Structure 1
Amino acid sequence: MAVNKLTSDLKKKLIQQSLQRQMKKVDADTKKPIRSLGQAEIPEKFYRFDQHPGCIQMNIMNKGAEQLGVESPFFRVHEGVAGALSVIDGNEIINFASYNYLGLTGHPKVNKAAKKAVDQYGTSVSASRIVSGERPVHQQLEQALADFYDVDDAVVFVSGHATNVSTIGYLFGPKDLIIHDEFIHNSSIVGSQLSGAKRLSFSHNDMASLEQLLKDNRQQFERVLIIVEGLYSMDGDFPDLIKLVELKKRYKTFLMVDEAHSFGVLGDTGKGLREEFNVASTDVDIWMGTLSKTLSGCGGYIAGESALVENLRHLAPGFLYSVGIPAPVAAAATASLEIIKAEPERIQKLHQISEYFITSAQQLGLDIGKSQGTAIIPVILGSSLKAASISSELFKQGINVQPILYPAVPEKSARLRFFLCCDHTEQQVDQTLELLSKLI
């Protein structure tokens, strides 16, 4: 029996190593220079989507998963509201795979506000806001966000990803420098690339690394932007905002904080990273966030001084040339924000259950990486195969948690990523961690 298991494990390891080699080869092939070709010589891979490197890579991954007997954990269909619990394939499961941190998606007051907006404004505003898509609910939401941040104004975009792409891409140019944390979200990287600015990254949450880059490069550029996240979605940790503000003032740069995951989560009343460090909101030049997490909608926003917001409102391509967010979404986000202000106990419950999860995981000897124990907690397993297999087994036993696999993270950092909700219970955490510790 032991010999058979050893043979099976060795076979799985060899398959996994083969998959990694194939994927690395696909990646390397895309970076090879292309010599000039005559029309008759053009290979099929340059005019067929099934020969695209991304498609080839997906096929390799799917074939490998089939060989290893691992079911895909992706695109599972939730049949209702996904919070601490969800329903998939007719079965109720404990859910650790949604951003519904404060349990406001599906809240009766939020639903009521959205339904009222549907009746009054319909499901689409049918134009960009500058043309004829402006509705009172847009202005109400933006004023509420500005008030929550204690800044002049805010502007809401139709997409969270596009908020970063359009804002960074528009405000900065080839004579500028953008310095970001190495773990920054893809949207900030794409926006930086679009801008044409020089782009440099500093070691994750390493302020000494950032300072050295500023010292070496600041004088060579006009505008300089530092970008960090309020709460990093892979590791569940956050940066030292006090040091960031000190550096941005000393080197005369702009500072942008992406609060997609920290808004409504960090701080006693959910005011995010600035409340966590007791920093004035005006010490950060650009506050960015999304409506799709604690605000239970969809889209993104920028908050800050009037000069910034009015500039974006009139000239940022992602706002100017996009339809306004649907009125029901704006109404839902505004209602969510009202509940956050009225019920700070939701944030306290989220903090308490997060602390319980991280303490319990540590007591069981689980590797939680750098997580600081608020809402996002990874369990590092060090193997993509192990992460995918354990995720699949947990799902079979009524627990939904997503694996994060190579190449999204280095192989040694493959993990399960747990998103906590204020409605999770200690019993659910105990059940999950007890089963997980047996499977590892």
Structure 2
Amino acid sequence: MPRKGLHGLTAQLKDALILQALERRLQTAERQETATSGSTRPESATIPEKFYRFHLHPGYQQLRIINDGGVRLGISNPFFKLHEGIAGATTVINGKEYINYSSYNYLGLVGHPAVAEASKQAIDQYGTSVSASRPVSGERPVHRQLEKALAETYQVDDAIAFVSGHATNVSTIGYLFGPKDLVLHDELIHNSILQGIQLSGAKRLSFPHNDYTALDQILKNQRHQFERVLIVLEGIYSMDGDYPDLPAFVEIKKRYCAFLMVDEAHSFGIMGEKGLGIREHFALQGSDVDIWMGTLSKALAGCGGYIAGETALIEHLKFLAPGFLYSVGMPPSVAASSLAALELIRQTPELTATLKARGQLFLKLAQEAGINTGSSAGLAIIPAITGSSLKAARLAEALFERGINVQPIIYPAVPEKSARLRFFISCLHTEEQIRKTVAILAEEI
């Protein structure tokens, strides 16, 4: 039975009515404000105020509606919580310790003594910034060392490290492809890919999630109309925690003479027996994928992104990709920390094994409790799908009150019907923490 609220209305209907009322009030206030301010403007002013005032920007107006609605519904803002130390399996917020599921610290290497020491030594030797773009005078040995180690890990010629993971995708795709090209991507691909395609001017087509047969059909109909074709996938999808059948996509890209790009932001360090990513998981050659992309901010305990591939690709990006050429070089301390983390992943595969065990335990317990975990493979990302943004926000708040920190993922980050809590699992989580979390989650749902 639906829960009843004010005057016999269901709580869901009451929530919707409150939000509608807030939106009407906001629109009325805007009209009044525009009318009042318009009376003081010169007669020659014909440009509507909404076109030159930030507080009247549609995006900001929508944000105000959401925030005001949350206040009216008694939901506190779940974002920008202030963490007071290293965020691992636990974290401290406002002086209180929480079991933490809102960190990419999958392998617990953020704050690892060897990683921290490498970063400190790099600061002592090179300072806190290289103070220039790398082609100009920002190149340091640690940059080359990191890129060489990444290339060796992927069994390819070379690699390039950018200062931002998001900018890595935007700049790489935006530079390499153009109006005569086609980019095909999974429908659940990350925003950075979409922004890169928009920048490139290439035609963009999506295919159903992980559906390589649909991709094959699109290429059969479209390939001959374009010069270059790029197919883009993720190693592990950041909202759902599942992964593609990569060998099937490799076969298709070869058959249609297309480029294949795999974004390993969430799969490197997590997939494969030794944590070396989806390539190792499927026992593929490095050359089977044209553009390997990953971030340094997840398992690699740093910040930034990288591209790994053949020499021609990497040289091209190093000399001409705007996001690299015109951006300051990565701080030496960040490059050093990610290099140290990469060495630890190679030397201690038990970190990945423990992470997998904890993820599988969480998934098993959640499914047994009847929680909707979608298509998650239980490797590191497990959603609890609520089907409504309000439900997700309320559920996150309820868990926070009981000592569990997990973020709601709400519209427009995901479709409204797919709103969820997203649990990031760490190898540092104990079995006891996971059992306790799933029990409380099931209770609150």
**Per the shorter chain, which TM-score range?**
over 0.9
Choose from 203, 215, 218 the match for 2:220: 215
2:82 is equivalent to residue 77 of structure 1 = yes
Task: Return the letter of the residue paired with 1:19.
Answer: L
- Work out whether residues 12 and 68 of structure 1, in 8 Å CA contact, stay in contact via their aligned partners in 2: no
- Residue equivalent to 1:31: none
- Residue equivalent to 1:33: none
2:190 is equivalent to residue 185 of structure 1 = yes
- 1:19 offset after TM fit, Å? 3.5
SS state at 2:114 partner = helix
- 1:13 offset after TM fit, Å? 3.1
- 1:39 offset after TM fit, Å? 6.4
1:264-413 alignment, distance < 5 Å: 264-413=269-418
Choose from 120, 123, 129 the match for 1:124: 129
2:442 is equivalent to residue 437 of structure 1 = yes
- Residue equivalent to 2:93: 88
- Work out whether residues 105 and 426 of structure 2, in 8 Å CA contact, stay in contact via their aligned partners in 1: yes
- 1:141 offset after TM fit, Å? 0.3
Task: Return the letter of the residue paired with 1:356.
Answer: L
CA distance in 1, matches of 2:345, 2:364: 26
SS state at 1:189 partner = helix
- 1:396 offset after TM fit, Å? 1.1
- Residue equivalent to 1:164: 169
SS state at 2:108 partner = coil
CA distance in 1, matches of 2:8, 2:358: 39
- Residue equivalent to 1:134: 139
Identity of aligned residues (%): 62
Unmatched runs of 5 consecutive residues or more in structure 1: 27-37
SS state at 1:231 partner = coil
CA distance in 1, matches of 2:200, 2:175: 6
SS state at 1:378 partner = strand
CA distance in 2, matches of 1:325, 1:171: 22
Task: Return the letter of the residue paired with 2:159.
Answer: A
TM-score, normalisation: structure 2: 0.93
SS state at 2:421 partner = strand
CA distance in 2, matches of 1:341, 1:242: 24
Unmatched runs of 5 consecutive residues or more in structure 2: 27-42
SS state at 1:314 partner = helix
Task: Return the letter of the residue paired with 1:309.
Answer: I
- Work out whether residues 16 and 385 of structure 1, in 8 Å CA contact, stay in contact via their aligned partners in 2: no
- Work out whether residues 263 and 293 of structure 2, in 8 Å CA contact, stay in contact via their aligned partners in 1: yes
Instruction: Quote the RMSD (CA, aligned, Å).
Output: 1.9
TM-score, normalisation: structure 1: 0.94
Choose from 258, 261, 265 the match for 1:260: 265
CA distance in 2, matches of 1:202, 1:3: 38
Deviations 1:34-79 (A, max 9, x none): xxxx962211110000001111011001000001101111000000
Task: Return the letter of the residue paired with 1:150.
Answer: Q
Task: Return the letter of the residue paired with 1:292.
Answer: S
- Residue equivalent to 1:35: none
- Work out whether residues 264 and 340 of structure 1, in 8 Å CA contact, stay in contact via their aligned partners in 2: yes
Aligned residue pairs: how many?
427
- Residue equivalent to 1:250: 255
- Work out whether residues 4 and 10 of structure 2, in 8 Å CA contact, stay in contact via their aligned partners in 1: no
